[in-house]
Amino acid sequence: MLDMRPGCECCDVDLPADVPGAFVCSFECTFCQSCAEGRLGGICPNCGGGLVARPVRPTALLGRHPASTRRVVKEAGCPGG
């Protein structure tokens, strides 16, 4: 099951699990659409893999399968920032 991390690693904007707009790589590094498509050009700055749209977890399932609360933010920021 995906972690569904709560924020963008670059800009720390909130990324609720039940709303579209988050992008992930195969290691679940998580970015907002603006950072993923803009400054990162669709490539994860951590592993070099491609970023794809993260699926939405239905709100009704968040009670039984909650999203992660652990925020990951790059201290040095992301490339192009």
Domains observed in the chain: 1-57 (3.30.40)
Q: Quick one: which of 78, 64, 59, 58 has its CA closest to 7?
A: 78
pLDDT value of position 81: 56
All residues at 6 or more sequence positions from 7 whose CB lies less than 8 Å from its CB, including other chains: 13, 14, 15, 30, 71, 72, 73
Mean pLDDT calculated for residue range 16-38: 97
Q: pLDDT-based confidence at 1, cuts 50/70/90?
A: confident
| pTM, two decimal places | 0.91
